[in-house]
Amino acid sequence: MVTEPESMEDLIYFTNRTIEEGKGKIKAWVYKKMCPQCNKAKMGKPVDKGKVKIRAKEYVCPECGFTEEKKEHEESLQLEAKYTCPQCQKEGESTTMYKRKSFMGVPAYVVECQHCSAKIPLTKKMKAVKKK
């Protein structure tokens, strides 16, 4: 069971979009994870002079200063999604790894429909899946 976020402050990633020319829609998000060292605060990108470093290569705990590489940190997170499947038109919810996989030649987070097991790709915004 996925829980919808209360605030964007708790998230690393969020998207809400229609898929396959309006046949389906998906809302997906990834929660920030608690610091594995102190368990007091949520890990985030480093803040420098009140501004978050957007292209930072690591995540930092604001409480204890623990740092973790971006790649290993993001692979330990879960992407949660609520969707309307473009194939079976049923609503559902699912979780998957927060890691892009190659789907029909395009990097995408792939969510699987709990009803018909269709794969629903979440590509970068303007990328289209290659048709055969």
State the average pLDDT over residues 28-52: 86
Distance CA 11, CA 8 (A): 5
Cβ pair 92, 28 in contact under 8 A: no
Cα-Cα end-to-end distance for the chain: 35
Whole-model pTM?
Answer: 0.81
Distance CA 43, CA 46 (A): 9
Q: What is the pLDDT of residue 131?
A: 64
Q: What is the pLDDT of residue 37?
A: 84
Q: What is the pLDDT of residue 40?
A: 85
For the cut 80, the answer to whether the pLDDT of residue 126 exceeds it is: no
For the cut 70, the answer to whether the pLDDT of residue 6 exceeds it is: yes
State the average pLDDT over residues 12-27: 85
pLDDT digits (tens, 9 = 90+) for 71-93: 888 888 999 999 998 888 888 89
Cβ pair 13, 78 in contact under 8 A: no
Q: What is the pLDDT of residue 17?
A: 86
Of 126, 121, 123, 97, the C-alpha closest to 110 is: 121
β partners of residue 78: 97
Which 3 state secondary structure label does DSSP give 108?
strand
State the average pLDDT over residues 30-35: 89
Residues 21, 5, 115, 122, CA torsion sign: positive
pLDDT digits (tens, 9 = 90+) for 45-58: 888 888 888 888 99
State the average pLDDT over residues 25-43: 88
For the cut 70, the answer to whether the pLDDT of residue 113 exceeds it is: yes
